[in-house]
Structure formats: C-alpha cells, structure tokens
Structure 1
Amino acid sequence: MMATRFLISGHVQGVGYRDWCRREAEDRGLAGYVRNLADGRVEALFYGRNEVVDEMLVACRKGPPGAAVTSVGLDAVDLPPVEGFTILRDA
C-alpha cells in the first residue's frame, strides 16, 4: 500500500475534475482526497495498492472531458492508512 500526492497542472479547475477524480478513486477502491489549489492546480492524495495508484496516475494525466492536463507531479507521502475519499475545500 502506498500514499501518493498528485499535483495536476493545466486547465483542471472549472471542468468537474474533482468530482471525476472522486468517482475514479472510489471505483478503484482508493482512499484519499482531492482539492483545488489557489494557483490553479488540483491536489489529490491517493492511498491504496501500488498498481492501482499507478492506474490512477494514467487516468489523471487524461482527466475528464473538458480538462487539458499539462503535467502531473508526484510526491510519495508517509502517513498512516486512511479510509474513504473526500473532496476538500479549496486551499
């Protein structure tokens, strides 16, 4: 199991990215959160099996219809297991 924080850049706010991300994560059984950042990026943390987090990376690089993802930065995060997936308030 791993926790990875994604920082998604491009045209990713105002296109339903957070709702899409929550659905994709829940469909894959991942826990974590997603939120908009003040600088226009979306931050998402996914916790789950390594191969499933890797699948989510592929999905996030494409995003929902209307999104234009230019990059996805990754950070491994050391934290205890989390449950559920939440859309957080904007940072």
Structure 2
Amino acid sequence: MNLTIHLIVCAVLVLVVVGLFLYHRWLENHGDPYIHLHNDQHDTSVVTSQTAMGKRIESIDKIKNGLLIAVILYALAIAGMAIYNAWNSPGS
C-alpha cells in the first residue's frame, strides 16, 4: 500500500487547519475590542457588527476544532498503516 497519497492529503488538511487558525487570528485582530452598551445609533451598528463577528469566529472555531480532530485521527491511522506494513513486510 502506498502511503504517499495519504501523507499528501494529511499535509493539505494540516495546511487548511493552519489557514483557519490564521484567519481566526486575523478576524480577532481586526475587530473592535471594546464593548459598546449605549443606546445611540452609532453603538447600535457597532453592537450588531460585533455580534456578527462573534458568530463568525464561533463558526470558524467549530470547523477548525473538528478538522483538527479529524487530521489527528487521520495521522494516527496513517501511522498505524505504516507500522502494520512494516511489521508484515517480508525480510524485515
């Protein structure tokens, strides 16, 4: 069994996880860090944009965490296949 394809797919998935992490950090750094609680028109628009940004960050976190777990399990499966192949290969 050729493990090269599995390693390439795993590396691509790791790059996707890193990209999601960097996008999450970018969203956090470009948001408004202050909480606006006043009742004027400007703060209403800021509060709605902060709410939308919070929902976007939460959804990215869920995707990132799920994909990270999947990548770890996939890497463990690849390692298991490599160990199994090495154990059963003749002449080792």
Same fold, TM-score > 0.5, yes or no: no
* TM-score after normalising by structure 1: 0.29
Higher-Rg member (1/2): 2
More helix by share: 2
More strand by share: 1
* TM-score after normalising by structure 2: 0.28
